[in-house]
Amino acid sequence: MAELQIQNVSKRFGGLLAVNKLDLTVPRGKILSLIGPNGAGKTTVFNMITGVYPPTEGAITYNGKKLNHLKSNRIIAQGIARTFQNIRLFKSMTVLENVQIGLHCRTKSGAVRALLKTPFEKREEKEIVQKAREILDFFGLAGSGNDYASNLPYGGQRRLEIARALATRPELLLLDEPAAGMNPNETAELMELIIKLRDTGLTIFLVEHDMRLVMGISEIVTVLDYGQKIAEGSPKEIQQNEKVIEAYLGSGAKTGR
């Protein structure tokens, strides 16, 4: 069964049709990229998947369960996590604490145990710290755990945001323009990281404008223009698609310029 299915989904904001009858399947364990010009509806798709607002029509299902009207916290509980175009870290907290926040959404202690500092709560908190350190090590941030998040370099802050999302234990990770603002070296490191995450069994669905990243790591590429899907296929197929070249990639697409 496909992990995520978007079936005949549209989203209207007053008289604006942001997404128009979109059909999209994100297969389990793959990297799928959603690309298109600014204003094509890409982030709107992510916002519908993650409960920011419901579709106007159509159905979004995850492992057969309809997500249309679930709240964001319920969607996280289903195993879906995301990052955002603009980094949203708790910058006055440490790197380690940011990851611990992600882990806390899966804790069992509850408010009463936390207030009473029961043995169960203390044991669980110790496990959270240990798990957070393991996640930081995976992301190459082990030496920065006690630093404030605001003190990380830009690329490190991007990695930390992904690490915090991973701490919620998702099976499907949505990355909204993860390479935005990165230099070429940081982007290359990000590409390696995303492949590494996929190789753990995670499904990756990303929106991105950096075509070097998209064409370098994606197994499937879907193209939106004015809210409609105009093409879908392998990176090579997309690079050679005349409709996509005209709408988005430009005349240098076939040569890789």
- 139 occurs within a structural domain: yes
- DSSP assigned state of 226: T
| pLDDT on residue 119 | 66
Q: Whole domain around residue 149: which residue ranges?
A: 79-183
Query: Cα 53 vs. chain centroid, distance in angstroms?
Result: 17
Q: H-type helices in the chain, by residue range? A: 42-49, 72-77, 95-104, 110-116, 119-138, 154-166, 184-199, 211-217, 235-239, 242-244
pLDDT tens by residue, 59-97? 999 998 999 989 998 999 899 999 988 888 988 899 999
- 150 occurs within a structural domain: yes
Q: What is the pTM of this model?
A: 0.86
Closest to 62 in 3D by CA, of 83, 44, 80 = 80
| pLDDT on residue 85 | 85
Give the CATH number, domain containing residue 152: 3.40.50.300
| pLDDT on residue 141 | 95
- 201 occurs within a structural domain: no
Contacts of residue 6, Cβ cutoff 8 Å, sequence gap at least 6: 22, 23, 24, 25, 45, 49, 58, 59, 60
What is the rounded average pLDDT for all residues in the chain? Answer: 89
- 211 occurs within a structural domain: no
pLDDT tens by residue, 106-130? 655 444 344 446 666 677 788 899 9
Backbone angles phi, psi at 126, to 5 degrees: -65, -40
Average pLDDT, integer, range 213-237? 96
Residue 188: pLDDT above 70?
A: yes
- 71 occurs within a structural domain: no
- 58 occurs within a structural domain: no
- 109 occurs within a structural domain: yes
Structural domain total, the chain: 1
- 23 occurs within a structural domain: no
Closest to 155 in 3D by CA, of 143, 134, 169, 141 = 141
Residue 224: pLDDT above 50?
A: yes
- With tokens 């990770």, the residue in question is 173
pLDDT tens by residue, 131-181? 999 999 999 999 999 999 999 999 999 999 999 999 999 999 999 999 999
